[in-house]
Structure 1
Amino acid sequence: MTARILVVDDIEANRRLLQAKLEAQYHTVLMAENGPQALEVAQRENPEIILLDVMMPGMDGYEVCQRLKADPTTSYIPVVMVTALSEMEDRVKGLAAGAEDFLTKPVDDFLLNSRITALMRYNTVASELRQREASGIRSGAMEELNRDEVDRPSRIFIVDDDARSSGRLANTLRAQGHKATTLMEAGDMGELATERVDVLILSLFARSFDPLKLIAHFKMNPVTRSISVILICDPHDKAKALRGLEIGASDMITIPIDRQELAARIRTQTRRTRYIDILRQRVDRGLELSVIDQLTGLHNRRYMNGQLEQFMQRAARGNQPLSLMMTDIDHFKAVNDTHGHQAGDDVLREIGKRLRANVRPTDVVCRTGGEEFVVLMPNTPGDLACAAAERIRKAVAAEEFPVLGGSQNLRITVSAGVSTLQGAGDTTDDLMHRADTALYQAKTGGRNRVESIAA
């Protein structure tokens, strides 16, 4: 897996060195020699990762990072600060500016490749979800993401078999406003499956279990796969931490743990986890809205067309019956004209409830438009379908419909037409046409009745 990486450094030798290292791993490298040029290239070329030098004349790396994160078109691009500075306050300042990580010159090849691999894994998921989200926004199925959703205090689970050190770390996190739970407090890791956890902090010093196997388990489990994992490691033994990053960990922090650096890394990883979770939920919700009628909560015509086609194919293969009921609210225009569209909406919602209450779980209830509804009835011969339609008709007519907050009650009836599959030569259009004709006969025959056309 390769990436398009923007290298930003005011010294050409440094740029060329990083370019050689990255191209040796088959990445595509873009380059910029100062802050303004970096912003311009990032907007124009849309790189997947940015390696950003801190010490540059004019606009330094901190300011460049802040501007990148403030711009909606580049805010999602992971930034890794690359600098000769090694003081803790410099690292914290870079993370606070929005950077995902911090590399110190001379850059270690193994560490560089491990960081890029971790960021590419994140990008693969985030990019796909962003594309689906963009399609949903264009279609009107969802609104722009509210970035405030990702900035609440973190929910953290600490996995360490040392009760003293894990308790001390939990107290530090709680003092910073986070919700922290230790493995010793929970007793087991069941909380990871039942509670939404943003960040999992895993100690590589544990002796009662293999931390690397645990990372692999977390990343294989669908429940915990998206949780960001921060490793606690020994600064003199990074090989194990780097292996953890390769397996799937998101970040690492060395002992002794600096509180400011911990807070910055927790913030970064929490935002990443929540961003993915929110995008995934929004995409799922957008897909749901594309096949759901928002007023009644029933399926819409798009969903009905797909389901009807599948039901027809199954019925033909298994020589099974299939029926369809098309129903229409009697004199619905008069409801809107006399009582207003809000009352009309109340009637439509109540019709949806009564339809759902009087069909089987296997039946598919759809609102196909206006005051028209369709019920697909798999494995149902014509006589049973007519009986079901009659049951629905009676359920609608039996009780008045409360509208306008219960201030008025209306007497509502429906007419229905039923059609049944007649064989392999039948098409969806044939089935719908016969139901529509039967519905027309019910309307012209006096309304509040059920008619059927067998063929």
Structure 2
Amino acid sequence: MQRKSLSSPGESPDLDRYAEIIKSGRYFRKISLVPLKGMLRHGEFVTLNAEEYLIRENHTKPPELIVLLEGSLAVTSQDHFIMRLNHPGDVVGEMSVVSSNPKPYADVIAEEDSQVIIFPKHLFKVAEGDTKVSVAYYIFSHILAEKLRHVTAQSLLKKNGRSHQDLSPLIGVLDPDKECRVKIKSVLENVWKKASLIELESYQEFLENPFENHFDFLIIDPEKIAEGSKQTDSIRNLIEICSAHLAPMLIISQFCKKEENRQLLAELSVADFLQKPFSDFDLQHLLTKFRKDHYRRKELEQVEIAADTDKLTGLANRRKMDEFLDAMVTLFPEEKQPFSFIIADVDHFKHYNDAHGHQLGDVVLASVASIFKNSIRRGDLAARFGGEEFVVILPNCEKDNAVLIGNKLRLAIAAEKIPYQEQQPLGNLTCTFGVAAFPEDADTKELLLKKADDCLYKGKSGGRNRVVAADPL
């Protein structure tokens, strides 16, 4: 490993180049080059050989913020993969900068020859009583905000991918002790009959793919994950990974016997724990509490869903659509997942309303919405855009496939039995569709909406009851 300070005075071609590279990263795009170069002067340029460690887990050293310039870094804990940094401007170490724990929670290793810039923790501190903040502190705050924005976007898309009709809670039990798992299952069947249970007997099995299942509740015995000096840090890492599920946790373990261990669990935001051996009554009491809390949360979720739902059609409303579209655009630089946008308009809807009244007009809108709802994939979003306009957002869908989906919807609507449809100017009740894809046809949300709307207008002008796709950029 070679380290070189970037604090040399005057202009530096290398500094300019590094700033341009980092600015292309997802967390730095909105930061201008001048403050970015100012921050870089406080950093160190580090070159790493393949398989060389930049950070070793549990080695006491001053926390640092690491920004990738070139190459690929893997973040692991106890030899379990956590994440990869392989895009210029990717960042790791921000949590150690804000944490009071001097020991890193993970290893950072170069997967190939790599270059990074490292910034010391003190650079991002603000002295007590100081009314001004440094440029570095401003940039660091921006990084945290951008990371939160990306996490929020990912959460929104994952939430949309889950079926709201399936209210059966999924409970994970991670415990190597088969006898204990059997006892937990027996009590659970009496207390929470609607719950589904997944038993995990090996930590390795869970850590290799911790997000394979979306758990509503986790029961864990972390004690045997490691022994001796490594136990506390291993338990800390396990619970932090479990916390990413955003699900309540119950620790059932002999580990809870010591007060200092219970204090550790409390520090990790684990509010409920039970010492082994335990009685059926104690477990029933805790599970009953969790069951009641679960359904309270579900009630709140239903309120949120109602706030995001168009009352007449049952589809997502305009606010929800805007949030979803923002999330897709936000995550594209990271995930490189193209998506398509379809906008549809009921042909001659005003004619139908004027001839048959608003009540039957509402029947038409509800019927069309039902076709949209029943025709999309899980993870797609169908929304009422306003009036007689509808949209569908199709993640991971190229334009050609979106056109096929648009035609499928068009034919289904034309085949729907709707009162007085034969009295429409086209002899049937139909819809016209406009299709645009991101980033093939548009590189901003606003342009995507405009191009899809322009296609809709072309379809209307060209005779209606058709699907028109946008031209690429």
TM-score (norm 1): 0.40
Higher-Rg structure is 1
TM-score, normalised with respect to structure 2: 0.39
Structure (1/2) with the larger helix percentage: 1
